[in-house]
Structure 1
């Protein structure tokens, strides 16, 4: 697969935002938050007071929800939780797909937050990996001139091409085809997921004229963000920043 040139011009904010350490911290925080959401659903289900599916969300992502299900089921739910952290999904693909670099990985994380906002559903362990895979595909297509075919990505991911196509289409509908992400939105997502109490996380704006995120071949290494605490994913008010 040939490498691609950048779709957007480089800007300072994007270059200083992108590092593999930052992406690992963001995905680790997402794993922890998803595990907590899954535990919350499981405890409520065991107590006989299941958490209801959202009824007033912008997009109806729930495909099934009955008394046998601990949580509402979407197209992104797997039959069983993946045994590996979500960063393993990225690292496995990044070795073989040139457009799946750290910048694209962070764009995909923002798209996950947009899906959470649109669907009204917390991201759980059972849905995180397949959702992030779809977000990677959409992020690459939105921010690169040329990308690998879905058939190649599906083969590397262990899903069928038709299934990956379905996941991509479902995500695009949920996002209302709003797939472009700015560098400022990436910075806000990094802070909200890894340093949710940071004052900067609450003051970063996501204006329409913000510089688009661009993919950098080399970028300065910022201090590694840590995800030692057990964060919850942002609430609806904060998620509005990413829409």
Structure 2
């Protein structure tokens, strides 16, 4: 897929994703003692000092990936969380998950993208670490990278609706990052949700 034309203006999706991930991370941090959570290769020893919003803005500024890559990266994070329920997104792993998911998304979506060494520099980690994270992330997704136009549209509609509502997501039923969409785009649940979003 060709790159969308970008500008110096920060896309709204970047701002919203940072807000969304901040809420999810805080919620999962607060519930760490209640849930049985595993430590993964994505976990840092301490919380990064850079905020999620600043981190995402840095990636957008220097990685030069299309805005659609952020939506696909969000889809990947959602799939990863569903497949790895014992590894919820929190403040100790969200930064590494972000740089990895965006890099994988750019490789899959954009015609032109930087190598791992460049993304590692943007993300503030070593190339060796990012290489390792990429492999672990791909296996965590079971290499399910394809995003159909229907799935992309559904997630965009969902994000747009949340932005318009400007309200936090309900985390009562799930403390992971999930859109509550089925991976099977042809499922009745998906079709029903898509009709609701289109109204």
TM-score by length of 2: 0.75
Which residue in 1 is equivalent to 2:21? 30
RMSD between aligned residues: 2.9
Q: Is the 8 A contact 1:29 1:194 kept in 2?
A: no
Partner of 1:155: 121
Of the three residues 159, 168, 172, the one matched with 1:229 is 168
The 3 A distance-change label for structure 1 pair 143 and 158 is same
* Distance apart, 1:30 and its partner CA: 1.9
**Paired residue secondary structure (1:125):** coil
| Distance in 1 between residues matched to 2:103 and 2:113, nearest whole Å | 9
Kindly tell me: are residues 89 and 80 of structure 1, through their superposed partners in 2, closer, same or farther at Cα, counting changes over 3 Å?
Answer: same
**Deviations 1:128-168 (CA, angstroms, capped at 9, x unpaired):** 11101100010001112231011111122210000000111
Q: Which residue of 2 aligns with 1:145?
A: 111
Q: Kindly tell me the number of residue pairs found equivalent between the two proteins.
A: 176
SS in 2 for 1:137: helix
Q: Deviations over 1:72-112 (max 9, x none)?
A: 211111111223332322211222222x2321111111100
Q: 1:202-222: per-residue Cα shift (whole Å, max 9, x none)?
A: xxxxxxxxxxxxxxxxxxxxx
Q: Which has the higher helix share?
A: 2
Equivalent of 1:79 in 38, 45, 51? 45
Distance 1:20 1:107 in 2: 14
Corresponding residue of 1:116: 81
Going from structure 1 to structure 2, the CA distance change for 1:152 and 1:36 (only over 3 Å counts) comes to same
In structure 2, the residue corresponding to 1:123 is in which secondary structure? coil
Comparing both chains, which one has the higher relative contact order based on Cα–Cα distances under 8 Å and sequence gaps of 6 or more?
A: 1
Alignment of 1:104 with 2:69, yes or no, is yes
Contact 1:90-1:105 at 8 Å conserved across structures:
no
Please report how far the alpha carbon of residue 38 of structure 1 lies from its aligned counterpart in structure 2 after TM superposition. 1.1
| Inter-partner Cα distance in structure 1 for 2:147 and 2:156 | 13
Structure 1 residue 230, shift from structure 2 partner: 5.3
> Larger radius of gyration, structure 1 or 2?
1
Shift of 1:236: 7.2
Query: In the alignment, is residue 51 of structure 1 matched against residue 35 of structure 2?
Result: yes
Q: Which of 177, 182, 193 lines up with 1:240 in the alignment?
A: 182
Aligned match for 2:146, one of 177, 180, 199 = 180
* In 2, Cα distance between equivalents of 1:36 and 1:177: 28
Answer whether contact 1:117 1:240 (CA < 8 A) is retained.
no
Give the Cα separation in 1 of the matches to 2:54 and 2:93: 15
Shift in Å, 1:29: 1.2
